Amino acid sequence: MIELFGDKIFGFSGKIVNIDLSLQKISEDPINNAFINLFFGGAGYACRYLFDHIEKDTDPLSKENILFIMNGLFTLTDAPLSSRFVICSKSPYTNLWGEANCGGTFGPELKKAGFDGIIIRGRAKHPIMISIKENKVKILDAKEIWGLGIKKTRTHIKSQSEFKKAKVLCIGQAGENLVNFATINAEGRSAGRTGMGAVMGSKNLKAITVQGSSFKPKVALLKSFKCSIKKLITYLVKANATKVLREFGTSATVLGAYATGDLPIKYWSKGRWSKINDISGEKLKNILLVRNKSCYGCLIGCGRIINIDNEKYHAQECEGPEYETIAGFGSMILNNNLESIAIANDMCNDYGLDTISTSGVIALTFDLFNKNMIQSADVDNLNLEWGNADSMLKLIEKIAKKDGIGEILARGSNAMGKKFKIPKDSIATINNMEVPYHDLRFCHGMALTYAYSPRGPCHTTADGFKVFRKENEVDFSSLGIKKIKMNSNSKTMVKNIIKLQNYRSIYSSLIFCFFSNPPPSYICELIHGLTGVEFDVNDLLIFGERIFNLKRLFNIKMGLSPQYESIPKILLEPLDEGPIKSMSPKFEKLKKYYYRYRKWDLNNGKPSQKLLYALKLNDLTF
């Protein structure tokens, strides 16, 4: 087994702050070298720790649940696109593995202060905030900012001289109100999906501020590391993805996804829409863009800062909508008003709502209304005819405040289905969570990505819709990943997905941005330069497979079984028009191949004992 660290630690600071809010106790834990040697940092490290401390009967919103904020190996080094951090816990939305990935500046600032992560347990008696300045950690009263949105929370905190230069991580009203899919925001960037904001709110924790300057990561082979960084930067500068993302952000994907059939329309039921150009990335750039925004150490700058100012909608200097948000509040409900989509995004960011789940449950509600399965009286007398942007915005507010119909919507699509007796096959969720906006009828491998993602359906767990396309520049052939037809139901498709899932597990643990896709050997060279340990592509896949199966074990411990890993018919029903007309993945066939190649038991979903021994996971029992 490869040992990244022995007596010396590179990259990491070596300390994690451990805070018990019930006891008002603050301590420092040394980083666990054994965990790093098996799982790197980030989500892999967090999952290994939480596996030992969370049980099947742990209520995600109880004081017994633990919230873990964790950096990666490369955070604060000069390696580009490595400033992201993760927030992990047991999810209140799925009751399974909860993981949110976030960019910006908070992660590097935390490491500057001398900490690799923050463990938060217990529950404060009243609203509080945590202040971290260099090595000093304090618990402070936060009654004054409880009830504020994320923007006002951040502004209020930074108006105080001692926090003027702090990086602020906080929740909005959705997290305070324990909305199942509430997010956590860090300096304008959102840690979405799986309801980590609700976990933070359940602990009466409004915000965490971080200020640091003293710590700098140690590098084992500085000259080698600098050469590897230069090589990666050269690749990224030349990459077409860098140029497109810099110019349009992820909204660049809208027209391409529509042309290929990847973009869902009218709650997954249509393949054509005449108004698609009205919500394109090109239009966003032309009418809304003020400037780009970059995460720490990023040379792409995919973030959008926009102004919205017309006779109906107004918002100044706010974050622009990403592809998923445009799809969810746009094509999914036939809303071609780009300004209203941008306002919806701004509202979700300020309340602290995940835009995929929020738009997903709203789109379901629109669908039910237009099929006469619910009436206006059922939704607080709103008119939910397709394309009604004003009603969409009112539903966002109701969800955040749990007002009227919002109380049900705040529990998600399946709760809405249960309330109105809607068949599960008509609801686009897997493991209780709304599916992202990449149609699995376009890339059939996405059926496996969504069904077996550890945190519920997640397109970044294995983005085959991008990586497998012959036209795409990403080349992961050294991993054994082949370019393949998107509608393939072959063994090659299954093997591709498995290898990509394993590799992307590395990304959430090192941690790297998913927009950085150099040849995998470049990542090996960075690891070698930073740690001094020789590392090859096969080692990457072993680490990735270990991390992916660790999360699988966590979920099985929480009660997951194969019966929950099904795909509703609404996502499999072939469309009668558009680029993917008559196409549908053969999920049961793919599933059998998947279990065979994963070496999982078809009956209970568990990895085989032989596999667990090979991956050094055999000591995990429950």
What three-state secondary structure class fits 490? Answer: coil
Structure tokens at 43: 């989500």
Residue at 442: amino acid letter: F
The residues near 230 (Cβ < 8 Å, ≥ 6 apart) are none
Q: How far is Cα 329 from Cα 337, in angstroms, rounded to an integer?
A: 9
Q: Count Cα neighbours of 83 within 13 Å in the Cβ-side half-sphere.
A: 22
Helix (H, G, I), strand (E, B) or coil at 508: helix
What is the reported pLDDT for 84? Answer: 96
* Distance set, CA 111 to CA 59, 207, 512 (Å): 30, 18, 16
Phi (first) and psi of residue 290, to 5 degrees: -100, -50
Whether 500 and 477 have beta carbons less than 8 Å apart is answered as no
* 410 CA to centre of own chain: 19
Cα(149)–Cα(174) distance, integer angstroms? 9
Q: What is the enclosing helix (H) or strand (E) of 41?
A: none
The pairing of beta strand 67-70 with beta strand 184-186: unpaired
In degrees and rounded to multiples of 5, residue 452 shows phi and psi of -120, 10
Q: How many CB atoms lie within 10 A of CB 537?
A: 17
Place of tokens 């890339």: 443
Encoded tokens for 155 = 């502004």
Question: Are the CB atoms for 542 and 1 separated by under 8 Å?
Answer: no
- SS3 for 363? helix
Q: Which residues touch 326 (CB under 8 Å, ≥6 apart)?
A: 251, 254, 279, 284, 338, 341
Yes or no: say if 192 and 364 are a contact pair by the CB < 8 Å rule: no
pTM: 0.97
Please name the residue that has the structure tokens 């009604």: 388
Helix axes 42-51, 491-510, angle to 10 degrees: 90
Instruction: Determine the pLDDT at residue 563.
Output: 86
Q: How far apart are CA 436 and CA 359, in angstroms?
A: 10
Q: Does residue 103 sit in helix, strand or coil?
A: coil
Mean pLDDT in consecutive groups of 10 residues from the start of the chain, 622 residues: 77 97 97 95 98 98 98 96 97 98 97 97 98 95 98 97 96 98 97 97 98 94 98 96 97 98 98 98 96 95 94 92 98 98 98 98 98 98 98 98 98 98 98 98 98 97 96 96 98 98 97 94 97 95 98 98 93 98 98 98 95 97 83
Predicted local distance difference test score (pLDDT) of residue 1: 62
Q: At what angle do helices 537-557 and 42-51 cross, to 10 degrees?
A: 40
Position 135 scores a pLDDT of: 84
Residue type, 507: Y
Q: What is the pLDDT of residue 564?
A: 87
pLDDT score for 3: 72
**H or E segment at 365?**
helix 355-370
Is the omega angle on the peptide bond into residue 484 within 30 degrees of 0, that is, cis?
A: no
- Secondary structure of residue 213 in the 3-state scheme: coil
332-368 b/e (C-beta count within 10 Å ≥ 16 → b): bbbbbbbbbbbbbbbbbbbbbbbbbbbbbbbbbbbbb
Q: Euclidean distance between the first and final Cα of the chain, in Å? A: 24
Q: Containing H/E element for 315?
A: strand 314-319
CA distances from 352 to 176, 315, 399, 415, 531 (A): 9, 17, 11, 20, 37
Beta-bridge partners for 170: 185, 207
Place of tokens 């109880």: 62
How far is it, in rounded angstroms, from Cα 482 to Cα 473? 12
Reading the block at residue 8, the tokens are 């010396």
Three-state DSSP state, 311: coil
pLDDT of residue 6: 73
Query: Of how many residues is the chain composed?
Result: 622
